[in-house]
Amino acid sequence: MSKYIVINDSNFESEVLKSTLPVLLDFWAAWCGPCRMVGPVIDALAEEYDGRLKVGKVDVDQEGDLAARHNVASIPTLIVYKDGQIVNMGAGAQPKQKIEALFLDLL
């Protein structure tokens, strides 16, 4: 069973803004090749950091307004929240170590 949470407009506030854990959001789409490359890495991070980091996935085709509010211009886009604030961002397919660098100092 996957440890990530599907984030949408209705649960964004409770799961991201009010989270007591840092949150890694993956803005992705099923048709996006680089997203499919990063997807298994995001899944592995959700498993590895379970209990210390909340991992959420935002399907930009389903949640266009949420993506627009985050100024997501390309996918995959990774955004890290802590205490309801954006603290880090990254775009494009990246190796696990670069993705971890976005949040490791927050744990």
Catalytic residue among 35, 42, 46, 102: 35
pLDDT at 4: 94
Range of the domain at 61: 5-106
Domain at 56, CATH number: 3.40.30.10
pLDDT at 48: 96
The question of whether 35 is a catalytic residue gets the answer yes
Catalytic residue among 16, 24, 25, 32: 32
Tens of pLDDT, residue by residue over 19-44, are: 999 999 999 999 999 999 999 999 99
The question of whether 32 is a catalytic residue gets the answer yes
Q: Cα separations (Å) of 93 from 5, 26, 37, 104?
A: 20, 11, 7, 18
Q: Which residue has the tokens 């959420």?
A: 56
Is residue 99 scored above 80 in pLDDT? yes
Q: Which helix (H) or strand (E) holds 43?
A: helix 33-48
pLDDT at 2: 64
Average pLDDT over residues 45-49: 96
Total domain count for the chain?
A: 1
